Amino acid sequence: MLRFIGRRLLVAGPTLLVVITLAFFMMRAAPGGPFASERRLPPAVEQNLKARYGLDRPLPEQYLAYLGGVVRGDFGPSLKYPDKTVADILKQNAPVSLKLGLASMILALAVGVSLGVLAALRRNGVLDVGAMGLAILGVCVPTFVTAPLLILLFGSTLQWLPNGGWNGGALPNMILPVIVLALPQAAILSRLTRAGMIEALAAGHVRTARARGLPEAAVVLRHALRPALTPLVSYLGPAAAGLLTGSLVVEKIFNLPGLGKFFVISALQRDYTVVMGMIVVYAVLVLALNLLGDLMLAVVDPRVRLS
């Protein structure tokens, strides 16, 4: 187990390096710069600014300096907000995205798993049809359609919930974004659960459990559910990536001060350091969740040998 974790961490290192390198040089290849605004700065001022942030040095030197900073946990100052460091900005925005993502994941799991199980138990029943409907909906109706429609219905027309804004993470402000973000994941999870459950219910050990006269609830919950859920665990990493991607749109539509909203703005403003910091955070998050998924898979399914 420890050796497995160690090896995966060894792979994670080069992956992060690739991420940082690609992002660094892509950002620098972009035309314009952080100080090229509508109001042209006098050349001397711009020169001074560049010198202050070390942007006048040769690119390879800047790259190495940046890498050194990241290794020490220093993401540098923001180029657009002179009084803030990248760490400040991340600390300010990450909690919003994390809270949103976590709540969506929990909702998606709760809805997806229970719907998938019930659908498998009553095949071709009302719930099964409902689960299939949800699965199709989740695939065909993207977040940027569900979000405006839900805002139109519950926000503007019924006025039950706010149209957007964060308001310190108050529950009414959270409901719509969380539902929108959770829906595609819930769809995939319900499909995975249903398929796993159908397979598990047909397995020999479940038939044995039934033959021993165990109550149906025990058969389903103790014997069928566990093998049925193993595919879900390995979906954890991709699900996290999906939530991150979705958060870009959701945070924009609902005007939430999270990382996703900041990412696009910072990239457009050429705030090099902030964009880099966010990419690193995203990459670490996805890598960590992938690793966690693999580890949990080994815990849930003893047949899986980590090597």
Q: Which is nearer to other proteins, 115 or 275 (CB)?
A: 275
What is the rounded CA–CA span in Å between residue 9 and residue 12? 5
Q: How far is CA 289 from CA 18, 57, 142, 292, in A?
A: 18, 37, 24, 5
Q: Which is nearer to other proteins, 110 or 139 (CB)?
A: 139
What is the rounded CA–CA span in Å between residue 125 and residue 52? 67
Q: Which is nearer to other proteins, 196 or 220 (CB)?
A: 196
User: Least distance to other proteins from the beta carbon of 146, Å?
Assistant: 9
H/E stretch holding 300 reads helix 272-300
Q: Which is nearer to other proteins, 211 or 307 (CB)?
A: 307
Q: Which residues contact 143 (CB under 8 A, 6 or more apart)?
A: 180, 181, 183, 184, 246, 249, 250
User: Least distance to other proteins from the beta carbon of 168, Å?
Assistant: 26
Cβ distance 220 to 255 under 8 Å? Answer: no
Tokens 């923001």 correspond to 78
Q: Which is nearer to other proteins, 11 or 110 (CB)?
A: 11
Q: Which is nearer to other proteins, 219 or 267 (CB)?
A: 267
Binding site for other proteins (CB under 8 A): 11-12, 14-15, 18-19, 22-23, 26-27, 29-31, 136, 139-142, 144-145, 147-149, 152, 156, 241, 244-245, 248-249, 252-253, 263-264, 267-268, 275, 278-279, 282-283, 286-287, 290
| CA dihedral sign, ordered 143, 148, 150, 154 | positive
User: Least distance to other proteins from the beta carbon of 214, Å?
Assistant: 30
Q: Which residues contact 201 (CB under 8 A, 6 or more apart)?
A: 120, 121, 220, 224
Q: Which is nearer to other proteins, 15 or 47 (CB)?
A: 15
Structure tokens at 107: 């909702």
Q: Which is nearer to other proteins, 81 or 144 (CB)?
A: 144
Q: What angle do CA 6, 9, 13 make, to 5 degrees?
A: 140
The SS3 assignment for 77 reads: strand
H/E stretch holding 104 reads helix 86-121
User: Least distance to other proteins from the beta carbon of 279, Å?
Assistant: 6
User: Least distance to other proteins from the beta carbon of 64, Å?
Assistant: 21
User: Least distance to other proteins from the beta carbon of 211, Å?
Assistant: 27
User: Least distance to other proteins from the beta carbon of 84, Å?
Assistant: 21
What is the rounded CA–CA span in Å between residue 289 and residue 237? 5
User: Least distance to other proteins from the beta carbon of 117, Å?
Assistant: 22
Q: Which residues contact 98 (CB under 8 A, 6 or more apart)?
A: none
